[in-house]
Structure formats: C-alpha cells, structure tokens
C-alpha cells in the first residue's frame, strides 16, 4: 500500500488507458490533496506465500483409534453409524463438544 507523503492518506490509483509501448499510463493520486505520482514499475511476476500446514485439532488419525461407535447419520453419505468423541473445548461451565467421524466415508462433523 502506498500513502501520501504530504498528509498520510491512502493513495488511489487511476488509469488513463494504454500507451503505444504497452505500458500503463496510470498514476497514484491523493483524494484529499493535489499530490499525484506516475506509476513507474510494472508487475512482471506474482508470488504467493506458502500456506501453513494446519494440524488436526482433534489429534489426527491416532485420536480416532480407540473411540466408541454410535448411531448417527452421516451428512455426506447418510451411513447410520459413526465414531464419536467428546472434548471440552470451551469453558468448564459449557457442555462438552461431540465430534463424529463416519465409519464408511470418514467424513468428520460435530454436534452444534
């Protein structure tokens, strides 16, 4: 982001079309004062940050090894049986959260 050097306002961008050399005739301008500056740099390459690997909050596959089964319909495949576990994720005066994992398709969901 670029800010006006005179008053600190976020600069706006305005384009006046394309020139003969395929360069943008754009410029930055301040909406509160007369400051303006032509855009000189062309963006030639976009880079994106790598995404952080997110850990499974329920403990991964090992957390589902020794859990009980119950009759609960899967929202994805409508299978009637699912594994379940109860975890206290909120304060102690709130009820425990129940997490389910379908026996057939391994879809995970929780009771709201």
pLDDT tens-digit series, residues 10-63: 999 888 765 555 555 788 899 999 998 888 766 677 888 888 876 666 677 778
> What's the rounded Cα separation, in Å, for the pair 73 and 105?
12
> What's the rounded Cα separation, in Å, for the pair 41 and 58?
47
Domain 61-110 has CATH 2.60.40.10: no
Tell me what percent of the residues of the chain surpass a pLDDT of 70. Answer: 84
Buried residues in 61-94 as b, exposed as e (16+ CB within 10 A): eeebeeeeeeebebeeeeeeebbbbeeeeeeeee
Do the first three CATH levels of 1-47 and 61-110 match, i.e. the same topology?
Answer: yes
Contacts of 77 (CB under 8 A, 6+ apart): 102, 104, 105, 107
* pLDDT number for residue 46: 80
pTM given for the model: 0.49
- Encode pLDDT of 76-104 as tens digits: 999 999 999 888 888 889 888 899 999 99
40 is in an annotated binding site: no
* pLDDT number for residue 87: 85
Strand partners, 1: none
* pLDDT number for residue 77: 94
Residue 112 or 13, more confident: 13
* pLDDT number for residue 72: 92
Give me the residue spans of the domains in the chain: 1-47, 61-110
The CATH class of 1-47 is: mainly beta
């Amino acid at each position: 982001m670029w800010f006006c050097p005179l008053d600190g306002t976020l600069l706006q961008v305005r384009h006046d079309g394309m020139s003969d050399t395929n360069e943008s005739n754009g410029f930055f301008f301040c909406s509160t004062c007369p400051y303006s500056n032509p855009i000189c740099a062309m963006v030639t390459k976009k880079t994106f940050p790598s995404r952080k690997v997110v850990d499974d909050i329920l403990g991964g596959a090992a957390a589902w090894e020794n859990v009980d089964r119950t009759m609960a319909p899967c929202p994805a495949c409508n299978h009637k049986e699912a594994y379940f576990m109860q975890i206290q994720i909120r304060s102690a005066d709130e009820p425990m959260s129940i997490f389910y994992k379908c026996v057939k398709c391994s879809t995970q969901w929780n009771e709201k």
